Amino acid sequence: MFSEGLPRQWQLVGFGLALVSIWLLSRPEKLVGRPAGLSMAVLAGLGFGSFFIALDQIGENAVFWPLAVGRLAAGASVLAFALFTRQLTIPKVPQLGLLILLGFLDVGGNLFFLLAVQTGRLDVAAVLASLYPAVTAILARLIAKEHMTRLQIFGLAIAILAIVLITI
């Protein structure tokens, strides 16, 4: 907002609805007191936000090198954490293929985010990317046959409305 000005009015409404949607989609069925892991969630959010801002600073000619460096930095961070905490776990061979697939999907998501911020606004791309709990909830329902609460279904509907308002 500081470098590109305020988004349009409908986009701001969509941002607010996206926040409500994420809250509804991510909350547990029974919420009693302060949720466990709230501080880790805030820390993760700050990490995602910092990563999104860093990707926005990359020039239009650079695409793959920043993603490779980001993946190497993430891998080095996880390895350092595992060594520091002495919780180094090597996955079983059948899980290794799934982990490689997830790595490619993660890099693909980062690539599309980078292309989005190179052609549009960072705030719009970041808010749309933050709606991933909607996709997670849909996949959990379709693949794992998980139950969706009424609030989660309502959150999904709000996410769709938010996407429409942000992109018009």
pLDDT tens per residue, range 62-79: 778 888 888 888 889 888
Q: What is the DSSP letter of 131?
A: T
pTM: 0.72
Percent of the chain with pLDDT over 90: 17
| Structural domain contains residue 76 | no
| Structural domain contains residue 4 | no
Q: How many independent structural domains does the chain possess?
A: 1
| Structural domain contains residue 67 | no
| Structural domain contains residue 3 | no
> Which domain does 151 fall in, by range?
9-58+89-167
| Structural domain contains residue 75 | no
Q: How far apart are CA 155 and CA 23, in angstroms?
A: 8
Name the nearest CA neighbour of 151 among 16, 27, 13: 27
The answer to whether 63 and 115 are in contact (CB under 8 A) is yes
Give the model's pLDDT for residue 156: 93
| Structural domain contains residue 123 | yes
The answer to whether residue 57 scores a pLDDT higher than 90 is: no
Tell me: the pLDDT tens digits for 23-56? 898 877 776 767 677 788 888 888 888 888 888 8
| Structural domain contains residue 137 | yes
Pair of tokens at residue 98: 């799934």
Give the model's pLDDT for residue 12: 94
| Structural domain contains residue 130 | yes
Burial string for 131-150 (b: 16+ CB within 10 Å, else e) reads: bebbeebeeeeeeeeeeeee
